[in-house]
Structure 1
């Protein structure tokens, strides 16, 4: 536990890192809202049905209060020694400006797809059959889906803008459940698998805590795996490969922990079950599975309307099914124990254990 002076220094350093980052992405989010309103005004009445919900939707003040609560929890984890003062590794100012430019350049195309309902540009003769059909879509209406280099370079800006700079803080909430099962053990003898690793942001969080922990990240996108390799090149004891969570290329009972961050809401129901069975298969007895994804209906009733609006404003065809999914039943069907759930702003941390 940190002493008073150390605690003050930690808090000062934390705020010095996180407040400018929050302001950067929150300003992007505000700009997006203004540009969208301007586009709608210029184009007149949209042909697309207006997004609607009868369920409660949090106001802006409530959203900011919950963001602040997330950052307070993030800081408390640092002060408790669960993980070090986080480094988000967003790159130099030049890098951030370039990624910001890529993000804004894609907004007109995103708006056009949203208004026209276009979401299958990724499915071409070149890509057909090379990835599962459900994967070949323009999720979030973004150009390239998950298949292109530009998409991989835009992704982290898109997600942080969507969550006003809180995405990494939500990802880090998967670290305390891991720390509970890794504590007191030789990290070099453990194995962590991250499924749907994307550009490697969660693995970066994990390696800051356990730099000698052997980690494997898998993802279906070659472009995103290349981006992850670039982002994670500072770390050793790490491997990244293109692979499908429906058929994980690992032996039975080979992993001490499995993580999957912001993936399950983009999987069809039957695929969720297949992937979950694979997680259970590769976990060692006594191993732990940690999922971080969106809130589900009823987790925070005041957010239920926001959950209904999300797939109406973004192309997320499996989200409505995800928010009703019974993960306890999925766990029981795979002989896993659903240990607990915790909420973190608009995300949910789900913890499952494989009996010893």
Structure 2
């Protein structure tokens, strides 16, 4: 099974890479795009690109091995409808043009009427167009294309990186392999992609999915409508609406790099408050300085192409150190392609 799942993941990655190249070619036709590209950092040399590709394939190979070893079921690879996938491509192209215009004009707080309705209730750092994407995280349109955009950016490896959170959960809760009796909290659940994978790995666990974005959470509810043991709450991870020691595990995927330092620290503190004694806090996010020398230049250049105002600070302050400072013990980390997984025990 490992060979077949690895072959499937490689083919899937190649498909997203082909779509990425088509969109890249089309966006070169945008007025002034040539000057914008010239202002960006030059691409890595061929040898470095080959090393990056090898690292991506190593992640996919490890993902296939995790499936063959029973860390999570084969069903995590279930593809979406090809028709839905293809119908989204014109939306992605149109959104690429919107992103181009926003980047060209330096607009980072550009919202339509739907998104503006949510701004007053959100913390200041969140009221922006992360990645220059349309409406940031505050519209259904944004939510419907987001996961596809992320897969294009990471050439079909984003799901495999999300699943890095599952092996530490599996190790910690080995006595309850189906999750019976366990309560998990996912913070910044977004459209529920990682939630789906964790639920498939622990089908009897009770999962609470929390996110600041009401539109994204509504899409998550639709995406996970077949999973009755998932609850959805709109809320701020820095002010969790839960009593002390309520959850066996708290985890997040692709959250902390988009937060200012004080929010990172507060969310870790709040997560510890709601964890049971010996409960697990886990996160998957971008690698940081010192994790993989191969990617260090790319980490430093990433904010130049994407509106990520807190990213430079994030990569300079190891998350494992923040876990330790908050009182977590047995802090551990691992990496996979451009992501790292960090865990600690209450």
After superposition, where does 1:160-171 map in structure 2 within 5 Å? 160-171=151-162
Partners of 2:68 and 2:36 in 1: how far apart?
A: 51
The separation in 2 between residues aligned to 1:92 and 1:45, in whole angstroms, is 35
Relative to 1, partners in 2 of residues 1:154 and 1:90: Cα closer, same or farther, differing over 3 Å? farther
Match of 1:75 in 2: 64
Residue in 2 that maps onto 1:105: 94
Partner deviation per Cα, 1:173-216 (whole Å, 9 max, x = no partner): 11000001111127221111100000111111111111111000
Instruction: Note if contact 2:324-2:331 (Cα within 8 Å) is conserved in structure 1.
Output: no
Per the alignment, do residues 255 and 23 of structure 1 end up closer, same or farther by CA in structure 2, a change over 3 Å counting? same
Is 1:265 matched with 2:257?
yes
**TM-score, with length taken from structure 1:** 0.90
Distance 1:104 1:53, change over 3 A: closer
CA distance in 2, matches of 1:269, 1:57: 35
Return the alpha-carbon distance in structure 1 between the equivalents of residues 179 and 37 of structure 2: 52
Task: Tell me if the contact between 1:199 and 1:225 (Cα under 8 Å) persists in the aligned partners.
Answer: yes
Q: CA deviation at 1:31?
A: 1.7
**Match 2:73 to one of 57, 78, 84:** 84
Superposition deviation, residue 338 in structure 1:
5.0
Count residues in correspondence. Answer: 343
**Relative to structure 1, is the Cα distance of residues 101 and 235 closer, same or farther in structure 2, using a 3 angstrom cutoff?**
same
The answer as to whether partners of 1:340 and 1:350 remain within 8 angstroms in 2 is yes
CA contact (8 A) 2:238 2:263 kept: yes
CA contact (8 A) 1:160 1:167 kept: yes
Range that drifts further, 191-200 or 29-38: 29-38
Whether the 8 Å CA contact 1:264–1:322 is kept in 2: the answer is yes
Structure-2 separation of matches of 1:104 and 1:338:
45
- Root-mean-square deviation (Å): 2.3
Q: Deviations over 1:54-102 (max 9, x none)?
A: 9999732112101110011111112222112243454211111122222
Deviations 1:30-68 (A, max 9, x none): 1232233333xx527637982348999973211210111
Equivalent position SS for 1:260: strand
- Quote how far apart the aligned CAs of 1:20 are: 3.4
Instruction: Output the CA distance in 1 between the equivalents of 2:257 and 2:76.
Output: 27
Residue 73 of structure 2 aligns to a residue whose secondary structure is: coil
Which runs of 5 or more residues in structure 2 are unaligned? none
Correspondence 1:148 to 2:150: no
Shift in alpha-carbon separation, 1:234–1:126, aligned structure 2, 3 A: closer
Cα contact 1:58–1:302 (8 A) shared by 2: no
Does structure 1 residue 114 correspond to structure 2 residue 103? yes
Supply the distance in 1 between the matched residues of 2:197 and 2:297 (Cα, whole angstroms). Answer: 31
User: Hey, what's the Cα distance between the residues in 1 that align with 2:24 and 2:37?
Assistant: 18
| Deviation (angstroms), 1:348 | 0.6
For 1:340 and 1:154, the matched residues in 2 are separated by 33
Shift of 1:335: 1.3
Paired residue for 2:266? 274
Structure 2 CA distance for partners of 1:87 and 1:274, relative to 1, 3 Å:
same
1:299 paired to 2:291: yes
Q: Cα deviation per residue 1:317-344 (whole Å; 9 max; x = unaligned)?
A: 1000000113243223321125211110
